[in-house]
Amino acid sequence: MAVSLTIDNSALAPIAGRLVKRGGLAGADRVWALAFVTPYVGIFFAFVLYPVCYGLWLGSDPASYRQLLADPVYPSAIVNTLLYLLIAVNLKLFLALLLSGLFMRKGWRMKTLLLIFILPWAVPGIPTFISIHWMLNSQWGLINNAIWELFQTDGPPWLDNSTLALSSVIYAHIWKWLPFWTIIFLAGRMAIPRELYEAAEMDGASSFGRFIHITFPLLASLYLVCTLLSTIWALGDFNSVRFVSGGGPALSTHVLATLGIRNAFELGNPALGMATVLSALPLLIPLVMLLMRQLKKGEVQL
């Protein structure tokens, strides 16, 4: 960015005498400030505060929760949500941390690899999730066709078994979001001064030692913030479950986000749907509070 603005102080001096008073806003400025923030304040009230309050009100009927607890799909949806968050988020971030180290290497080969590696993130999610759904089809999907070609044996029924189907959803999530988090960690690594590594190398630290004693401690708070943020986003993830497993087989791979939408729209019971979603609050609120506290420390910025 080229900013070429020079301010001639001597030219300003004569006017400086009748200077506008600084700090605080007066008169016309105040009106302008008010006008400038009105659109955002309006949006916040109309499309954040109102829906939040309305949602809380919609999900405030104890009867919906009784109905929810009686639903056999609900407990499995909770277990799925927890498994999904724990496995998908942690596996993804750990891989991203390792891979970011790979991409620190120099040369055109790594640059090209990064360009290819970034594809899942650059391609819209829906088509790729649909593609993953098909390639995992047990009769004519690409994966089982390839297994047949290579080993002359039938591959597993990926989407017809609930454990495999949930694993497939987790795979799809990691595939889609791994590049994004790798880039975040790559940026984090690039911010670490090279001298630290050079000094450690002089002291005879192995590359593993350098990772444990330099990279990880310096990236720890970034890693924590990423884990929290990624968990919050994964909690609200609808698309990968909806399109990869569709909640099946036999509703066994629903997570709270997809079950909420199903209860509200497919079963036509918005109060039940809202209750489903709101039952994630005991998990969401501590995550948000922890994240807020981390961000307040100011070591990592959003």
Partner 1 sequence: MSVASRARLDRRLVDASVAMVSVVLIIWTIVPLYNMVRVALQEKEDVFSNSVFPTTVTWHSFETAFRESYWLLANFWGQMGTSFYIGVSVAFLTLAIGTLTSFTISRMKIRRGWMLTNAALLTYMIPMSFLAIPFYSIMGKYGLTDNPLSVIAVEVTFATPYAIFIFKQYGASIPQELDEAARIDGASPPQIFFRIYLPLMAPALVAIGTYALLLSWNEYLYAFLLLSSDGNITVPVGLGKFLNSDEAPWNYLMAAAIIYALPPMAIYYAFRRKMNSGLTMGGVKG
Among 4, 10, 20, 282, which residue interacts with partner 1 (rule: CB under 8 A)? 20
Output the smallest distance, CB 1 to partner 1, in A. 6
Given a contact cutoff of 8 angstroms between Cβ atoms, the answer to whether 55 and 141 are in contact is no
Cα 184 to its chain centre, rounded Å, is 12
Residues within window 168-197 making contact with partner 1, judged by CB under 8 A: 175, 177, 180, 183-184, 187
Based on the number of CB atoms within 10 Å of its own CB, is 258 exposed (0-12), middle (13-18) or buried (19 or more)? buried
Residues within window 225-284 making contact with partner 1, judged by CB under 8 A: 225-226, 229, 232-233, 235-239, 243, 246, 257, 260-261, 264-265, 270, 273-274, 277, 280, 284
Residues within window 23-42 making contact with partner 1, judged by CB under 8 A: 23-25, 28-29, 32-33, 36-37, 39-41
Nearer to partner 1, 110 or 200 (CB): 110
Q: Is 105 helix (H, G, I), strand (E, B) or coil?
A: coil
Residues whose CB falls within 8 Å of the CB of residue 166, separated by 6 or more in sequence, listed in order: 80, 83, 84, 245, 252, 253
Q: Is 5 helix (H, G, I), strand (E, B) or coil?
A: coil
Among 96, 132, 166, 259, which residue interacts with partner 1 (rule: CB under 8 A)? 132
Q: Which has the closest alpha carbon to 216: 195, 185, 187, 180?
A: 185
Output the smallest distance, CB 254 to partner 1, in A. 13
Among 83, 87, 91, 135, which residue interacts with partner 1 (rule: CB under 8 A)? 135
Output the smallest distance, CB 172 to partner 1, in A. 8
Residues within window 71-130 making contact with partner 1, judged by CB under 8 A: 99, 102, 105, 109, 113, 115-128, 130
Based on the number of CB atoms within 10 Å of its own CB, is 113 exposed (0-12), middle (13-18) or buried (19 or more)? middle
The radius of gyration of the chain from alpha carbons, rounded to an integer in Å, stands at 26
Residues within window 40-59 making contact with partner 1, judged by CB under 8 A: 40-41, 43-44, 46-48, 50-52, 54-55, 58
Residues within window 142-171 making contact with partner 1, judged by CB under 8 A: 142-143, 145-146, 148-149
Question: What single-letter DSSP state applies at residue 139?
Answer: T
Amino acid identity, residue 73? V
